[in-house]
Amino acid sequence: MRKSQVEVAESLNSVVTHLFQQFGLWALLRALWAAILLEQQKKNDLRQLSDRMLRDIGAEGQEDHLRPKRFSPWDIRF
């Protein structure tokens, strides 16, 4: 596996030129645009997670809505 990782088959310029000659400009640009859009969709979106899940993974979440914000005498337990 290491040997195949070190070897470079062709330069990027020759590969792009070959693809341009084989498929044309618009197909190449369309494929590049699709690759860019797919890469953007791979990013994690934390907005859809609940506050509890955000706290579990260590991200900043809003305060817990289930607990009271002020001290109440009813909170004291013996």
Average pLDDT over residues 45-61: 80
Contact by Cβ (8 Å): 52, 66: no
CB–CB of 23/14 below 8 Å?
no
Q: Are 44 and 53 in contact (CB under 8 A)?
A: no
Answer whether 0.95 is exceeded by the pTM: no
Domain boundaries, given as residue ranges, for the chain:
2-63
DSSP 31: H
Phi-psi group of 68: left, alpha or beta (phi > 0 → left; psi -120 to 50 → alpha; rest → beta) = beta
pLDDT in tens, 22-35: 999 999 999 999 99
